[in-house]
Structure formats: C-alpha cells, structure tokens
Structure 1
Amino acid sequence: MRESRRRSSRLIGIAAVIAVLVGAVAAYAVSSPTTAKAQAQAQAATPPPAVTVAPVIVKSLHEWQEFTGRLQAVESVEVRARVNGYIDRVAFADGAIVHKGDLLFQIDPRPYQAEVDRLSAEKARAASSLALARADFQRGRALQRANAISTQAYDQFRASEAAAKGELGSVEAMLRAARLNLEFTEVRAPIDGRVSRANITAGNLVDGSAVLTTVVSQDPVYAYFDVDEQAFLRYEQLIQHGGDEDITGVFMGLVDETGYPHGGNLDFVDNQVNPDTGTIRARAAFANGDGQYTPGLFARMRLVGGAAVETVLIDDRAIGTDLDKRFVLRLTADNAVEYQRVEMGPSISGLRVVRSGLKPGDVIVVNGLQHVMPGQTVAPERVSMLEDGETLEQLAQVEAAAQPQPLAGADGLPALYIDNARGLVALADRAK
C-alpha cells in the first residue's frame, strides 16, 4: 500500500514538472521575435481610420457681449379728461394709429357752450359800461380844465372809467377760461402713436381722475437692459482710452428670431450702479417706422465688447466633451492626432470662438472624432472648416454691422450718453 502511494506521488510530481515546462515553452513561443513580427504585420495590414480634418479659421473680429432687455415707448401718455361731463362718443378704434390732435373722446359741450355764451354777453355789457365811463371821464376832464367841476367830481369820473376797464378785463379772462373748457370737451391725442382701448365708453360721467385711454409713441422705440459692473467698467475704459474705436452699435433679436437682425444705437447709460443687483441700466434706440416693435416685448441685445482682434474660429462639430471640459483632436506632422484642451467663447454666425488652446495654422479633426483615440495614426482628408461660403459672408456682415449706421427716425438722439458718479462722459454721434 505504501509503495503504491509513493508511485502516485512521483507520477503527480512528474506531471507538474511537465506542465511547467510546456507553459514556459509556450510563453517563449509567444514572445519570440517571429510572433511579435507577425502581430506587427497584422496591425500594419489594418488601415488607419479615415477622418476629415480642416485648418482653423482666423479672422479679425470684434467680441460681443449679450444682454436681455425690454422694449419701451419713448413717449407714453395717459389720456385724462380736463373737464367734467358725460361722454357723447368715442371717436377712435381700439388699438388704432393716431396722430397728434386727432379727436379721441367728445364730452357733452352744451354746459360749456352756455357758459361761453353767458360770458360773451357779460363782455358786451362790460364793454358798453367801459365806453360810457370813458366818455364821462373825457367830458369831466374837459370840465375840470375849465374849472367847471370840482376835483372830487373829476376823480369820480376817472375811477369809474378804471373800474369799468377792470370789469371788462375780468370778464374777458373768464371768457377765455370758458372757451378753454369748451375746447377741452374734445379730448384729442397728445402725441403721434398707437392708442389703447377706451377705458370709459359713451354715456359715462368722467372727471380728471379717470384715465380714458393711453397713447404710446411708435418711432423710435427704446430697449432698456441691465449691464453688469464688469462689462460697464470695460465699456467705460474703451470710451475713455479706446481712441477711434466705436462701440455705440447695438443689435437686437426678438424671441421668434434667430440672431440679431435689428440694428440701433446705444444712447443712454444711467448715472449709478444698482447696489442690490450690481448692474447699471442702459438704453438703446431703434428705428420703428414700420411699427414692428411693440413696447413691452422681450429682446436679446448684443453690443460690441472691444476692439477687433485676431480670432480663431472652428465648427462646433470639431469640439469634444470630456466631463466639464472641451477638447479637439489636433493633427500632428506624422498624421497622428493629439488631445488638445480648448477654452471656448461665444458663437458667431455658426462658428465657435476659441479663446485659448489653438493657434493659426492648426489642423483639427472635424468629422470622425468618436472613431479615433489620442496618439492614433489616421488617414486625414482635408476639407474646409465651412460647408459653404455663406458663413464667411455672414461674418463679414456682422463685422460691417459693428460700425453703427445712422438711426433713421430717431433724429437728435445721441449715439452714446454716459452720466456716472465720477463725471460726464460723452461720445459724439459718430453715426452721423
């Protein structure tokens, strides 16, 4: 029995030694130059992935700042009655365009016409009394010169003439007031603009406390928006030290529009920063001859943020995301790709501004970003960063728009007016 166990142990030991030797031989075979060469040949037989690459675009561009605001009429008037009375009729259609002087409401004029007639009669009576007193005074003066009457009698003639003259003046003043009240029974539009609805209809008694309707001007229109302290200080430095750089151009887009298709001029900045919000109120003026802007609309505002600088632009397709970071794959001289972190700026006409990470002349992967890894060799196909020339044309239009144009319909509005706590900073209207 013991002999059998010894033989089994020997057999197990021999088997273990053989297994170790076989494993060593296999490892040697795998690591041999012949095998490594075969693997390299197999990898070489696999073609590198094809990607499209494009050189970055470099343009001299202005940087822009974006804000939000609300449109507001230059003039807004609450129309009230200046005399009491019953409304005879409403003479306008709700929401209509009206001109200064157009009739809006007619208040019953009969009581005021009667007062005018009464005072007209009083004026005639007072004029007659004055004529009589003046004639008596002239006769008395002649008699006084002839010493035919006493001085006291002469003074009475003179006083009677003066009293009659004063009475006539008083009646004339009351008559003018009565005629004004009669005129005020016709409630007319105080400005050109668009009228609201009639708050009080015909048959109602009104007085000066009731707002009958409102009228808001149409052209031009203001856009008010709040600028943060950092942006305000930057603009102030540009104004004071920017030389010929003009930053008065403001561009606006409404909620249903893409981009900022409407141009106007910055014309006012408030005189102090709101300590609660850390912002300062600014205002831009926009021509509104066709009435497309309605007061109260939300508006997106864009202002030139500084002087024109050489700017690197790329297509959004070339940008990868690594958690909270942005990167691109840059092509090296040996057709490999390398990981490059980038700091992104705003979007301009469909292209993205690169603040840092790329320089002029760099070539990056545009399509196929997800199919390659950093360090991998690729088969690059060079294309343009742009699919067509429209984007470049849009960039040119944006830059041309950076120089503000004359604001039609807003004559007399200055291009920029800043009144701050440290003094007045005024910029001449360069748009003219």
Structure 2
Amino acid sequence: MAISIPSNQPPPHQFKSIPLVRLLLHILIPSAIILIGVGGYFSLKKLVHINVFGMELGEEKKTLSTRKPQSNKRPMFRTKAMPLEAQDYTIKLRSQGEVRAHNATTLTAQVNGRISNISGKFEDGAFFSKGDILLEIDPADYNTELASSQAQLARAKANFAQEKARAKQALLNWKDAGFKEEPSDLVLRKPQLQEAEATVTSATSSVQRAIRNLERTKVRAPYDGRVSKRRVGLGQQVGGSTPLGDIFSTDFAEVRLPLTTRDLQYYTPPQKPGEHGKKNNITFSSILTGIDKHWQGTILRAEGELDEKSRQLFVIARIDDPFALNSQSHPIYIGQPMRATIPAVMLKKVFIIPRAYMSGLNEVLLIREGTFKRLSIDPIWSGDDIVVTRGGIQEGDHLSIDRLPYAPDGAPVEILADDKPENRTTNGVSKRIGKKRIRPAK
C-alpha cells in the first residue's frame, strides 16, 4: 500500500540541518558573552574608576613600577613609663576606731545634804585639775556633828584620867592596909581603866569621822580632767548614791583598733606584762571632714580574745595630751572616729606597682628591651593605692602608665619623656618615628 506525502512539507534531508543550527546558537552566544566579559575585565583592570555616559568616574591606576613600596614594619607604640626598681617596703596596716577617755567617772557624793555651791569648773566641757573643789554641800550639820564628837572625846579623856588616878590610889590603899599578897585586877580597877581608855579611842574615831564628813561636803576632782555632763543643780538635795555628773581624764586618750587575722601575719602586738609598742610610731588622722591633722600614738596592749562576731583582735593605742593642753597640736574630741596607720614588717627587695597603672586584675604592661610584655603578678601585699610583688619583674623593666588595652605582646614601643597630646594619638600608636627611643632587640 503506497503512502502519499503532502506537497507543502520540506524534503526529508532538511530535517537534519535544523537541530544543528540550534545547537550552534546555544554554544556560540554564551561563548561570545564570556569572551566579552573577560576582555572587559582586562581592559578595566587598568582603571580605578570608569567613564560612564561622559562622566569621568576614575583615573588610571599606577603600575607596579610607579607604586610606593609598602613598609612591613609593625606600628610603633608610644607611651609614658616609670622605671621599676627593687626596694625595701614597710607594710602599713590600716585600721580605724573611736577615741575614748582613759578614765571616765560618774561623780557621786559621799555625804547627804543640800548643794550650797557649784564651782565654775563643774560646768559641761570645763577643765579642772586634781583636787579642785567642784561643788559644796551645806556643812552646817557636819560642823555640829564635829563639835559634838569633840565634846564627847573631851569627856572620855577626863573619865580616863580619873580612872587612872583611882587605879593608882587603889594600889596605895592596898599597900597601906598591910596586905602581903598581890592585889587583884578589880582592886587595881583595871577593867574600869580599860573601859575608859576604849571610850577615849571611840570618841577619837568619832571626831575623825566627823572631820572626814565635813571635808566630804566639798566634792573634789579625783584627777586632771574635763566635765562631760553636770547632773545636779544649786540647792538640790543629794545623797550618797546621787550621780552629780560625768567626768573624764585628760592625761591621754585611747583608741580601740581592730586587726584582722591577715594583719596579724605581718604584725605582732604587745602580749607580755609591761610590754608595749614603739613609742609614737602610729599615725592617726581624723575621718571627720574638714580636719586635716595628724597625731602620733603608741600601742599599749592587746585584748586577750578575738571578737566573737568579726574574729578580729583589738589593740589599745594611746594618744598623749589629746586636748593639746601642753602642745600646739590640734585637739581631739572624745568619740571622734580616727584612721590609724600601723607600721608592720619590712619586705626586702620588692617592686611597688601603683594600682592606677595596672592594666588588669593582677596584670601589668611592662616594657622590656623595647617591646611590650604583659605579665601576671602574684601580690605579696596590696593596699588602697599600691600592689607589692616580687616575682616576674626584672631590673631595668619599665611600667607603662598609659591605658593600652590592645597593645600586643612583643610590639615595639617608644617611651615618651613627656605627656604632650601632640606626641601620641588617642590609642597610643605613634604618629611619627624618629625620636630617641628604646629600640626592640633583634
């Protein structure tokens, strides 16, 4: 059976040429785009900017021959520094306490009566000396008592004299009677004589007591001191248990200072009888604002037990002449809070690091042989402003006193002789090189 072919279809050999053309188009067009891009890249490689639509957006790059050679040197840091030298350092312990009186007394009367006179030295804040009369109690009753006791003494003495005479006469009568034996005590009136003598002794004691009571109507100061507070007034009736006022001594004051167990590793307070610290080796300063004065003191003794709550040992320090009565120093007030600086042991050949110049916690930034070296230190002692250490630091090292948190280990550094702003940038990196400096070792 024969198959008929329409007359409008192409001949059979043309079906093979159409896929070939399409294949060539798929290959040639991408290849042309790639070649154009590569050519454009190499042509633009010589330009920094491009001329687009008549606008000049760049300039021709310099060739390798016209470029300036780049330096491979690391940036030079510049900083101020202080030399570190081994030295002896005396540890100074810090403590504080309140000033208290050496002797504080509540004054009381020894006799009853009405206050008849008050001295001007028995006013609040007044000074007095030992033996001064501070106030007086009406002595009228005690004068009468003295006169009565004196009269009783006179009668007792008269009676005693009569008994002695009777005893002597009794002995004569016994002999005149011709008795051969010795007379008895009753004959010689010895019991009556002893009774009369005892009466004289008792009356004498009464007189002495009356004299003392009369003297006690004048209340005297027991020591050199000062009045804290007067508690009675003129005309007031007082007794033996009535508080007249509060007084304290002014010869020296005491300060009770706590020491921690850490402090006791470097300081041994006086512990034996009669032992005390070096005289006036403690420096006191006032915590109160507006008083920029210093006083010297001596540690007298230590308390025998640790405080139950804080586990601290308290030592007692003495400040002589606290009210500046015999000197030109500034007076101290009872109850005034004080800071104390106590010298302790001496550390040999240590390095003292100001705390403000440390770059981190127990870390310092050293300059050794012209380069930076970060070093972690082991503090032997630390205070408010300094840290004392010994290991790791060498003679000739310098301590950077500028804050350079990003300065790398081993970076070259120049030590500035001054701290002018034009000599360094804000981050410590040198703006210019050429000044005299410590060069890093090769």
Equivalent residue of 1:369, what SS? coil
Q: Give the aligned partner of residue 417 of structure 1.
A: none
Within a 5 Å distance, the mapping from 1:266-345 to structure 2 comes to 266-288=299-321, 290=324, 292-320=331-359, 322=360, 325-333=361-369, 335-343=370-378, 345=381
The answer to whether the 8 A contact 1:78-1:214 is kept is yes
1:263 and 2:301 are equivalent in the alignment: no
The superposition leaves residues 253-306 of structure 1 with CA deviations (integer Å, 9 ceiling, x where unpaired) of: 221489994333222112233344322221122222625233322222232332
Equivalent residue of 2:226, what SS? strand
1:65 and 2:93 are equivalent in the alignment: yes
Letter in 1 for 2:319: F
Give distance in 2, aligned partners of 1:17 and 1:294. Answer: 99
* Distance change >3 Å, CA 317–CA 282, structure 1 → 2: closer
CA positional deviation for 1:13: 7.8
Q: Give the aligned partner of residue 395 of structure 2.
A: 360
Q: Which segments of 5 or more consecutive residues in structure 2 lack a partner in the other structure?
A: 1-18, 49-62, 326-330, 420-442
CA positional deviation for 1:314: 3.7
* Distance change >3 Å, CA 317–CA 172, structure 1 → 2: same
Give distance in 2, aligned partners of 1:61 and 1:304. Answer: 10
* Distance change >3 Å, CA 54–CA 87, structure 1 → 2: same
Give distance in 1, aligned partners of 2:249 and 2:93. Answer: 29
The answer to whether the 8 A contact 2:170-2:189 is kept is yes
1:369 and 2:379 are equivalent in the alignment: no
The superposition leaves residues 153-210 of structure 1 with CA deviations (integer Å, 9 ceiling, x where unpaired) of: 9537333322222112111111211111111111110111222221111111111222
The superposition leaves residues 379-419 of structure 1 with CA deviations (integer Å, 9 ceiling, x where unpaired) of: 322479xxxxxxxxxxxxxxxxxxxxxxxxxxxxxxxxxxx
Q: Give the aligned partner of residue 200 of structure 1.
A: 232
* Distance change >3 Å, CA 194–CA 373, structure 1 → 2: same
* Distance change >3 Å, CA 371–CA 346, structure 1 → 2: closer
Within a 5 Å distance, the mapping from 1:380-391 to structure 2 comes to 380-382=415-417
* Distance change >3 Å, CA 166–CA 142, structure 1 → 2: same
Within a 5 Å distance, the mapping from 1:29-178 to structure 2 comes to 40-41=70-71, 48-91=76-119, 92=121, 93-147=123-177, 155=187, 157-178=189-210
Equivalent residue of 1:338, what SS? strand
* Distance change >3 Å, CA 85–CA 143, structure 1 → 2: same
Give distance in 1, aligned partners of 2:270 and 2:69. Answer: 64
Give distance in 1, aligned partners of 2:270 and 2:233. Answer: 55
The superposition leaves residues 24-54 of structure 1 with CA deviations (integer Å, 9 ceiling, x where unpaired) of: 9999x99xx969x95833x86x973432222
1:191 and 2:230 are equivalent in the alignment: no
Give distance in 2, aligned partners of 1:371 and 1:255. Answer: 36
CA positional deviation for 1:249: 3.9
Given candidates 251, 259, 265, the residue that maps to 1:227 is 259
Letter in 2 for 1:216: F
Give distance in 2, aligned partners of 1:84 and 1:265. Answer: 43
* Distance change >3 Å, CA 200–CA 19, structure 1 → 2: farther
CA positional deviation for 1:101: 0.5
Taking only aligned residues, the RMSD between alpha carbons, in angstroms, comes to 4.3
Give distance in 2, aligned partners of 1:87 and 1:271. Answer: 44
CA positional deviation for 1:131: 1.7
* Distance change >3 Å, CA 212–CA 246, structure 1 → 2: closer
The answer to whether the 8 A contact 1:191-1:215 is kept is no
Equivalent residue of 2:166, what SS? helix
CA positional deviation for 1:14: 6.2
* Distance change >3 Å, CA 148–CA 161, structure 1 → 2: farther
Give distance in 1, aligned partners of 2:100 and 2:285. Answer: 15
* Distance change >3 Å, CA 141–CA 327, structure 1 → 2: same
Letter in 1 for 2:398: V
Give distance in 2, aligned partners of 1:295 and 1:80. Answer: 22
Structure having the higher helix fraction is: 1
Give distance in 2, aligned partners of 1:136 and 1:377. Answer: 123
The answer to whether the 8 A contact 2:168-2:188 is kept is no
Q: How many residues align?
A: 368
* Distance change >3 Å, CA 337–CA 153, structure 1 → 2: closer
Equivalent residue of 2:345, what SS? coil
Give distance in 2, aligned partners of 1:20 and 1:252. Answer: 86
CA positional deviation for 1:316: 4.6
* Distance change >3 Å, CA 371–CA 18, structure 1 → 2: farther
Letter in 1 for 2:250: Q
Question: Normalization by structure 1: what TM-score?
Answer: 0.71
Give distance in 2, aligned partners of 1:206 and 1:141. Answer: 56
CA positional deviation for 1:108: 1.0
Letter in 1 for 2:231: N
What is the percentage of aligned positions where both structures have the same residue? 19
Q: Larger deviation: 250-259 or 211-220?
A: 250-259
* Distance change >3 Å, CA 215–CA 330, structure 1 → 2: same
Equivalent residue of 1:374, what SS? coil
Give distance in 2, aligned partners of 1:316 and 1:308. Answer: 18
The answer to whether the 8 A contact 1:49-1:372 is kept is no
Letter in 1 for 2:337: F
Equivalent residue of 1:305, what SS? strand
Question: Normalization by structure 2: what TM-score?
Answer: 0.69
CA positional deviation for 1:104: 0.8
CA positional deviation for 1:16: 7.0
The superposition leaves residues 120-152 of structure 1 with CA deviations (integer Å, 9 ceiling, x where unpaired) of: 111112212222222222211211222379968
Q: Which segments of 5 or more consecutive residues in structure 1 lack a partner in the other structure?
A: 385-432
